[in-house]
Copies of this chain bind each other. A is one copy, B any other.
Amino acid sequence: MQNSFTEENYLKIIHSLSGRDGAEVSTNALAESTSTRAASVTDMLRKLADKGLIHYKKYQGVTLTETGEKVAIKVIRKHRLWEVFLVEKLGFGWDEVHDIAEELEHIPSEVLVEKLDAFLGHPRFDPHGDPIPDAKGNLTEPDYRILTDVQVGEKVLMMGVLDHAPSFLQHLDRSGITLGSVIEVREINEYDKSASVQINGGQTLFISLEVSKNLLVQRR
């Protein structure tokens, strides 16, 4: 039984809204994320439930079944591998690849994914620092901290972003912050909670709270 482009997208979105704990996802949240109306979501949920891909009880929200989870993770694996390809091989910026990967992730063919993975050297992370599930479907989210949780005086490594919006990524580019950058938190401004940080031991700049909330970092 083959899943459609649209079905795969629902599963992927349920996965991401569901979070690590596999919490229930609401119809409205899905309508928001899929840019459709709640009524359309309900229709699709009945269909996915019939196919055994989600647990669904009317009015109670949904969670993925084990099968549904597997499908979702395969799509995520493909999405992230294609993003690596687009950035590493074709020279796209990390702010340019999301929409194209949204299309490529639905190309069917197990062998294509595995050959692509090998060609890319079995990367563990995509250009935004998101972990790439392995061929068996194991997806281990590394427990990065958010920059807002870093103490003044700490030096950390920039490992990923929570927001993938092109405008946010371009802002980071202009700030000279990329994956692997060393960020030292120098001071937190009482007034607006912005942070003074030093990047790679060089330039010092202000990072707004909004930005800090979307930066994933790790102890060095």
Comparing A107-115, A173-181, A184-192, A204-212, the segment that makes contact with chain B is A107-115
Residue A104 is within 8 A (CB to CB) of chain B in the complex? yes
B residues in contact with A91, CB < 8 Å = 115, 119
Residue A103 is within 8 A (CB to CB) of chain B in the complex? yes
A95-131 interface (Cβ within 8 A of B) = 99-100, 103-104, 107-109, 112, 115-116, 119
A92 CB to nearest B CB, Å: 7
Q: Is the CB of A115 within 8 A of B103?
A: no
B residues in contact with A112, CB < 8 Å = 86, 90, 100
Residue A220 is within 8 A (CB to CB) of chain B in the complex? no
User: Interface digits, A78-99 against B, CB 8 Å rule (1 contact, 0 not)?
Assistant: 0000000010011110000001
B residues in contact with A100, CB < 8 Å = 107, 109, 112
B residues in contact with A99, CB < 8 Å = 109
Bound Cα distance from A103 to B108, whole angstroms: 8
B residues in contact with A115, CB < 8 Å = 90-92
A8 CB to nearest B CB, Å: 13
Bound Cα distance from A86 to B119, whole angstroms: 10
Bound Cα distance from A139 to B115, whole angstroms: 30
| A103 to chain B: closest residue by CB | B107
Bound Cα distance from A100 to B86, whole angstroms: 18
| A115 to chain B: closest residue by CB | B90
Q: Is the CB of B119 within 8 A of A90?
A: yes
A106 CB to nearest B CB, Å: 8
| A112 to chain B: closest residue by CB | B100
Residue pairs across A and B with Cβ atoms less than 8 A apart, 19 shown, are A86-B112, A89-B119, A90-B112, A90-B115, A90-B116, A90-B119, A91-B115, A91-B119, A92-B115, A99-B109, A100-B107, A100-B109, A100-B112, A103-B107, A103-B108, A103-B109, A104-B104, A104-B107, A107-B107
